[in-house]
Structure formats: structure tokens, C-alpha cells
Structure 1
Amino acid sequence: MNEHLEQLSPRLLWRHFRTLCNTPRPSGHEAALVAILERWADGLGLAHDRDAFGNLRIRKPASAGFESAPGIILQGHLDMVAQSNADHPHDFTRDAIETRVDDDGWLRACDTTLGADNGLGVAAALAILEDETLVHGPLEALFTLEEESSMGGALNLAEGWLEGSLLLNLDSEDRGQVYIGCAGGADVIVEAQLPSAPLGDDKVVLQLSLTGLSGGHSGIDIHKGRGNANRLLVRVLRALEPCGARLIDYRGGTLRNALPREAFATLVLPDDEQVSASERVSVLQEELRAELAGVDEGLTLTLSPLDIRPAEALTEQASQLLVRALHVAPCGVERMSVAVPGVVETSNNLGVVSLEGGRFHLCALVRSLRDSATRDLADRFRALFELIGARTRVENAYPGWAPNPESPLLARFCRLHRERLGSDPEARVIHAGLECGILGGKYPQLDMISFGPLIRGAHSPDERVELASVTEFWELLRALVEDLARGETP
């Protein structure tokens, strides 16, 4: 599958990306890809090993005469976000990603995420290892696991394992930019067993659905005003409280680091409130569409009867307490940075919410450029949901990456960018969880930058990459590796 990728330029990079597209690799299911890469390394005579967590390292000795050049670590993550459109069944643990090249010069997948995040960075690192025309110092390619689900690979990376002093993170998504800092974050998990009661004979069971949002990356896109399906559906549920609505179940969002595009609630109402509820939903649909106009145009709200009749629903009090807690929970941009103008400092994504059999579960992702603000926002969740008797814990916390504008590696990259593209790159701090902060904590001697091709719509089925930017990215990467080997001054 995806034979057309090998006709693109640079062919060496795209051949590796084809392998990644054809090998299922959602978070937690990277083992098959690791095995393929190990066999590939064996075929080229490249040394490889794994740490205790399973992160993969492939090494290549320096070109003859360049053994004393600084060691370079090419770093990316093997997993991808698994998102597909509702009308496109796709098993990300078994099915290949089907890609297409559109006339506008962009590569897309067919109704799923593309995996350009971070497949193109991984493919570029593999191509560098394979390129026999390249002059280079000692090379290490570090491929981490479970970045999209938990940062698990970076958090559990072995210490004292890596040998290089310069790290090129290839997990950025903007041409003409180089990242020198990023937000830290933490997962906030909320769980509760809520009381239920029988439905009663005079009740009707309905499904409330909110679909059609565009979604996106919960860090990079958090400030763009797009709808969060959980936030909006809870708002509708709140409006239905006067109708006596009681929740039976709920499911919204699939990943804590993707803006939820859809959410669904099963609820019960008194028979004589069904018309009033439908009218409220219709009004809210128009209100929400007006609020999202020009940003997220596809919202659809439906309220429809169900033939099923469960034995119980949440009690009216429990249902109200849950909806009200979710209604006031932090969601979206909390604060913009003063130190880095135009960049989000602190945010939260209500990523995954579920209710089944009275068991409530929430996974939110808090991000901040300040670790103290991450801790504070997580504590606000704890304080809020303890009021309804829920248990809250914080998992997978990771630090931010403090920028170093005086980095020699950054100066070298900027010079090459000027020479080759005729412009200075914009040095930026990103409101997303690059692994650099974690890696820097384990290897404080590393000088690091992050750059990549132009990717849009990451973490959603609208993910796409501009083909021309991949060529530009590849040429810059090759030039930087050679420049570092030759030891030319920044």
C-alpha cells in the first residue's frame, strides 16, 4: 500500500514514511514497528539496542576523519494519534494508513490521522542513517514510545545511556520556525461511582449527540476558539436540567491530547418534557453555531428516542452535581504568557469523559510553561471534584523546556537557515509537550533545538503535510548534520 509515496522527493525519506504508514503504530502498539526497524538496522550493519522501557536507539559511527565531531542525537517518537471520522471504521492496531497526494501540494490520509506527527521526523532520522553521501560525526537515532498517550517513553528513558551532546528533536510542525522551549504538563484523572435509581414508568430514554467539530491538537490549537465537544455537550445537558434530565451514560473524546470532536449522552426524561427538551436543543444548536461561526462550522446537535430501556439512571441529584462540576471545570486557555507574547502560558483540555453503570471517568490534560501553574490547575480539579465525592490523581507529569536563546546549536541552525533560505527562522516557544523538557532533565548537558516540516491538523483526520516543506526540512537537516561534523563556526 501507499506505493505512490516512493515517487516523492526526497525518495529516501518518503520510502521510510511509507513503511511507517503501512505499519500500525498507535500508542502502546509500537512493537511491530520496532522489530521492523531493528531488522532494517541489521541489514545496514548498524548497532541498535533498547532501554528497559523499550525505547529504541540506532547508532552509526562517524564518517572517516570526523570521529572527533560532537555526537548528534536525532530524536522522534514512533507512535501516532489514532483518530478517524465517525463514518470511516478504521482499526489502528491492524489497518495501514491510506494516504493521498492532493492537487494543492499537500499529503493527507483518507478519513484518518496521517501520522506525519511524528512519522516524518522518524523517517528523516532513518534517512540520515541510511544516506551514504552524507558527511557526519557520531550519530544516534533515539525513537521513543507512547509519546502521544503519556510521554511514557521519555519519562522512563534510561539515564546514562545516550552518548551525544547535541539533540535534534524532529517533532515540530512549522516551516521557518525553530523551537527552543515548550510547555510542561500533566494528566488529571477523575473517577467516581455515582448513585443510580430506577427510571420509572413515565420516562422516555433519549440520545443526545454533538458531532461535526474539527478537533485538533490540544496544545497547538487550544487558542484558536474551536469547539470542545465535552464542554459544549455538558452545556446542553445543563440547559436540560429544568426538564428533569438524568444521565444514563456518556462518552466524549478519545484522547486527552486531542480536542474532542464528538460527544454522546444517553439520558432519561419525563414523557411530558420531551417536546420542551427538543425545542431547547434546537435553540442551543443555533446559538452554538453562531458562537463558532468562522472557526468551527460543522456542529450538529441531535436529540432522538432510543428503543433501549436500561434499569437505572443516575439519581437526579447525582446527575445535576456531575453536570454542574463539568460545566465549571477549567477548559481551554487559562492564561496567556507575558514573558513570551502571543504564546499560551496555561491551558486545559477536557479530553476524555465517560459514564457507564454509574462509573464516571475524566482524563484532562493540563499544560503550562510554568510547572507551578500546572500543579495549581491540577489541584483546582482535585478541589472541584472532591465536592461531588470523586477521587482525583495526577499522572504522567512532565517538565517544560526552558529556552536558551544563547544556544550555540541554535546560532548554527539560524546561520544555515539564512544561507539556504534567505531568511532568519523564528525562534519560538510552543504550547505543546515536546519531549525535550523531559530529555533535558535526564541529560542536562544536551544542547537542543526542535524543527520540522509544515504540518496542519495534527491529532485529527484533517492532518496534512505540505510536500514542499518536507524537502526544505530534509535539506536543512542534512546541511546541519554536515555543518556540525565539519565544525564550522556559527
Structure 2
Amino acid sequence: SEVQHPESTEAAPITQTEDLAGMPRVLSRQNLQERSKHLLLHLPPHPVFTLFARILEVNRPSMKERDIINFVRSVAERSGWWYRIDPQGNILIRKPGTELNHAQCICLQAHLDMVIAADSKEDIVDGVNAYVDRGWLRAKGTTLGADNGIGLATALSLLLDQSIQGPLEALFTVNEEAGMSGARNLQPNWMKSKILINLDSEEPNRITAGCAGSFAKRLTWIPEREETTTHIISTATAATSEAKLFNHLGIRISNLTGGHSGLMIHRNISSAIKGFGQCLSAVLRDVPARIVSLRGGDAQNSIPTSVSAVIALESEQDIESLQDVFHSTLELLRIKETGQVDEPMERTWTLDFDRKPQALDQRPLTLTATRKLVRALLQAPHGCYELSPEGHVESSVSLSTAMLGADKNSELELFFKARIHGDEQALELDELISNFGHSQGMNVTLMEKFNRPWTAPSDSVAAQYLRSTHNQLFGREPDFQRVHGGLELGLIAQKYPSLDCVSIGPEIEGAHTTLERLRVESVPPFYEWLKTTIRSMHEDTQRDKIMADWRGKTLSQTLDKIVEHTREKILSRSRTRSESRASADRTVSIPVC
């Protein structure tokens, strides 16, 4: 049931040279790509950024994580850590404690995959081309993948950090962004840890203690197409008629704001699919336009930022009319969004037209089928459906993708993602989507089983430690709230009911879009907060374990244990002193009296 050594790809040579802040690193900067070296020149010296730069070199879309699995495997092997890879591709790494080998094992969790979205096909390259812009790390024309690459880099950095002397586990899951199949099929009794800290949150100074549940449905319908690729027009004399090929016009709406379909659904951000439906609906009032093909949406859990379509039109005048209507309607939608979105990020909406060759093998939909499809796009559920009295989203639906090929037997496919915080809401949205599909004569299929919402226990030990160390480091309490997005913790908690789980992360904006960005200055304090929390839990659980072992022993045995434990702790602290005092005598004499 376990695969320990999959076929590996060539990995960068790993060294044990000293990194900044005295932490040993496994990645030599000399072995990074030139663009990664250039990127690091503009980032603060920190091991997380070094590892993240290496991760950015690896392609890791959902369900195609082999290269990133091999990278993590190579790090584990060359660092001498125990690891296993399950049949799904999930990786579990286990690193024993050194000085605090009796402490409670703590698990760090992140997912390996990322959403791939691009402004154009030309922007898709090997890895991610990242750059620093006014304090933010961004990518050129694509998603950055800080969700959840920065969590992966942080977990690996902490495994390599020699100042952490207690036992650690790291769980890296696959396919989080397209169904969470990695977490869903996680093996029970695989992890030893009783505490798990997920690193997939996107707001700094916040403990995420709950997330929405979700499910997904697909609606399909085979629309009727014209029998030929021509249309009939009357001649000048009106006494006869002739067949003429349709004019095919390509339309692309792109660069809309978009965003995470859970975290940003309440902002009334325009959907490219809905916008296309509104534009074509306005066209159909005066122009007999027919859809040939349609492709909208970037990912299953994103608000669509783009849509491409081919439309069949009868005349040059119809083409001009369509272009005018699309320009004016889309401008109205843009103005409407600008007035509704809170602090919108800069974005230039784009509308492009492309004259297509007259294709003899591509038959457009009938005018009736086109109108039915457009009506379905306009009426499809999309948006926030219930708010709590405090203004938090309780349930929502996102029309994530819409696909229709040009083949005569191609079916229209609409993909819906629903998010909820309660079972009753799940039933309501399930009925909403199904009833809509049936009313349109569509087949309804459940694509993603119901992931139950997750809430951290009120007495969470992990949350208490995170609160304490945040107050200690930054002088204030962290925020403590749930999110409407999805985390894998709900599924993990089903397999490990007694596991104490929470989630934290640095500041990320625009996840799942080409506007995704990571605030550079939020990473070092996030890392320090997490490291301090882990060390504090390790020290306390080590002491508690020794105290438990002492019970029932003789006074002499107890005093011997006290001496041993105290000597280990003092020696451990002395190893972290500055180099100027490294040569000092570290012999510790502890009188027993």
C-alpha cells in the first residue's frame, strides 16, 4: 500500500553549507536557475525564500504533481529523514527529535499542487516566472502558486532548522485544488502526531479555526446544431435564394478581476461566464447570432476571469453590431463592479475579436439552442446565498467553468462548486443546483462528494500555544475566525478524530488568479511565530513526559532524572549562543541537595 521510491527526476545537488541565520540548508543557491538567483537578490535573506524559489522552478498543477513529489522526496532522502509516499501521492516525512526526543510529535501540513491560470498561452512556461513589485512577490502573467507553495517551503525549512530539537512530521497532500482527493483518501493510523498545523491560510496574524464544507456538480446537455454550415439568404431579385457560409468570429473576454470562489464570492466580482451571457443576450435582441463553441473559467474553485467563444454570424453588418454591443455591455459591467468591489486590485479588462476561417466541419447551434444556452448562463446559480448576522458568508455557489466543443456531438458542460457551513445549507444548495439543471433539461452529476465543514475544538491546545507565542512576539492577540474557503482539515479530521488542528499562514491576495501575490514582509514573522510555537510545545511536552515517567519512582531516581533533564536543557541552549562564546566551557555542574 506504500510506494517509497517512485521514478525520480534529476534533482539539484544538495549540500550542507550554512545558510543565513546559521540554519543548514539543502539547496545550494549555485544550483538554482538564473531567474531564481536573480529573484533572490530582491528578497530578504531567509531560508523560506530560498526554498520557495526552488519550488517555483517546478511545474505542479493539480493531478500532475510528479515533479514536485520527486523534489520533496529528494530533499527527504538527502537529509536522512524517514518518509513514505502513499498510492495517492501524499508524502509523509518524519524527523526524530534530538535533545527533546521525548516531546510530543507535531505535524506540519501543506498541499503540493497549485491552480494554473494564465493571461495568455504565451505566459505559460516551465515553472513560475516571479518578480518583486513594491513589497509583493508576483508572477508574470500566471498564478504565483504561493497557495500553497509558501506553506510547503515553510514546512521544509522548519524540518531543516536545527534549533527545533523535538520530533516533527510533515504531511504534503496532492490534488487539493481539484477535489482534495489526496486528503480524502488519506490512510488512517499513518501519522503519529496529536497536533497538526495546516499552513494554507492567507491572512497574517490570524488563526483559522474553521472552514466551509463543499461539494461539486456537473450539468450537461447536448444542444441541437444546424444541419449545415451555411445559411440561406435572398438574392437581390428576391426571386431566388442561395446558401452562404456563416462568418465565424472569435471572441475572448479576459483579465477580469476573478478570485477565490470561497474567499471572494461575497464581493460581487463579475464572472466572465456570466458577463459573456449578458453580452450575447443583448446581441440576440437584434442579431441572429449562433454559438459554435464556448470555453469559460480557469479552475474549479475560482471566479472565472476569462471566456473564449466562436460565434457564427450571417453578415458583416451583424459582426459590427455584435462588437458594438459587447463593448458597451462589458463596459457597464466593469463600472458596476468598480462600485461594488472593496478596494479592487488594478485590472484591465480585455475584449478581443478574431475573424475565423469559414470552417466546413463546424456547424453552429441552432438559433433556438443558442438562446436556450444563453438563458441557462444568465439563470445559473452563482454568488453568495446566505449571510450570518455578523456578515459572514454561510453558503455560496460558483459557476466555475462552462465548456462546449465545436464537434457536432459535443455537450455543454457547466461545473458548479457549492460551499456551506451546515448540513441544512448543503441540502438547500444541492436542491437549488439540481432543480436548475432539470428545468433546463440537463443531466445532473455529483462530481465531488460532500466535504463536511470543519471547526477547531474550543479547547484546542495548538490554538492556545499560537495565541500565547503571538502575544509574546508581537504584543497582541491574533485574530481567531473561520473562513468560507475550503481546507483539507475537515477531511483529515475525519480520518484522525482526536487530532488537534489549526491553520495559519502569511499574507496572500488574489489566490487562484494571475493577480495572486505574496506580501514579502509577512513571511519572516510568520515563520518565527510558527517556529516559536513548535519549540514551546516541544519543551513543555518534554517536561510533562518526564514528569509522568517520574511518578512512582524513588526520590533518588527522581533527582537523577531532574539532573539529566536540566543538563540537557542547558546544554541545548548553550549550543545556540553566538560564535564568540562557542568556545567557552559548556560543562554544567548541578549540585543535588
Q: Which residue of 1 aligns with 2:327?
A: 282
Residue type matched to 2:151 in 1? G
Match of 2:452 among 383, 387, 399: 399
Offset at residue 9 of structure 1 (A) = 4.4
Q: Which residue of 2 aligns with 1:261?
A: 305
Q: Which residue of 1 aligns with 2:162?
A: 132
Contact 1:182–1:431 (CA under 8 A) maintained in structure 2: yes
Residue ranges of structure 2 left out of the alignment (5+ in a row): 1-32, 234-245, 544-593
Q: Which residue of 2 aligns with 1:84?
A: 118
Offset at residue 422 of structure 1 (A) = 0.9
Q: Which residue of 1 aligns with 2:3?
A: none
Q: Which residue of 2 aligns with 1:160?
A: 189
Residues 255-304 of structure 1, C-alpha deviation per residue, up to 9 Å, x if partnerless? Answer: 11122111122222343644543443333133223212254653344556
Give the Cα–Cα distance (whole angstroms) in 2 for the partners of residues 167 and 403 of structure 1.
Answer: 11
- Asked if 1:418 is matched to 2:471, the reply is yes
Residue type matched to 1:250 in 2? L
Match of 2:265 among 222, 247, 258: 222
- Asked if 1:73 is matched to 2:115, the reply is no
Contact 2:217–2:445 (CA under 8 A) maintained in structure 1: yes
- Identity of counterpart residues, as a percentage? 32
Give 3-state SS (helix, strand or coil) of 2:221's partner: strand
1:89-488 matched pairs, under 5 angstroms: 89-91=123-125, 95-102=126-133, 104-136=134-166, 138-197=167-226, 198=228, 199-202=230-233, 203-242=246-285, 243-271=287-315, 273-294=318-339, 295=341, 298-302=348-352, 305-310=355-360, 311-338=362-389, 341-356=390-405, 357=407, 358-397=410-449, 398-487=451-540
Per chain length, whose mean CA-contact separation is higher, i.e. which structure has more relative contact order (CA < 8 Å, sep 6+)? 1
Structure with greater Cα Rg: 2
TM-score w.r.t. the length of structure 2 is: 0.77
Give the Cα–Cα distance (whole angstroms) in 2 for the partners of residues 304 and 253 of structure 1.
Answer: 20
Give the Cα–Cα distance (whole angstroms) in 1 for the partners of residues 492 and 486 of structure 2.
Answer: 12
Residue type matched to 2:85 in 1? R
Contact 2:456–2:502 (CA under 8 A) maintained in structure 1: no
Give the Cα–Cα distance (whole angstroms) in 2 for the partners of residues 61 and 248 of structure 1.
Answer: 60
Q: Which residue of 2 aligns with 1:64?
A: 99
TM-score w.r.t. the length of structure 1 is: 0.93
CA change 1:304–1:43 in 2 (3 A) is: closer
Give the Cα–Cα distance (whole angstroms) in 2 for the partners of residues 26 and 89 of structure 1.
Answer: 15
CA change 1:487–1:9 in 2 (3 A) is: farther
Offset at residue 5 of structure 1 (A) = 5.1
Offset at residue 172 of structure 1 (A) = 0.6
Give the Cα–Cα distance (whole angstroms) in 1 for the partners of residues 423 and 98 of structure 2.
Answer: 41
Q: How many residues align?
A: 481
Contact 1:26–1:82 (CA under 8 A) maintained in structure 2: yes
Contact 2:280–2:326 (CA under 8 A) maintained in structure 1: no
Per mean C-alpha deviation after superposition, the further-off stretch among 274-283 and 263-272 is 274-283
Offset at residue 415 of structure 1 (A) = 1.1
Offset at residue 208 of structure 1 (A) = 3.2
Residue type matched to 1:115 in 2? G
Give the Cα–Cα distance (whole angstroms) in 1 for the partners of residues 529 and 191 of structure 2.
Answer: 24
Give the Cα–Cα distance (whole angstroms) in 2 for the partners of residues 298 and 449 of structure 1.
Answer: 37
Residue ranges of structure 1 left out of the alignment (5+ in a row): none
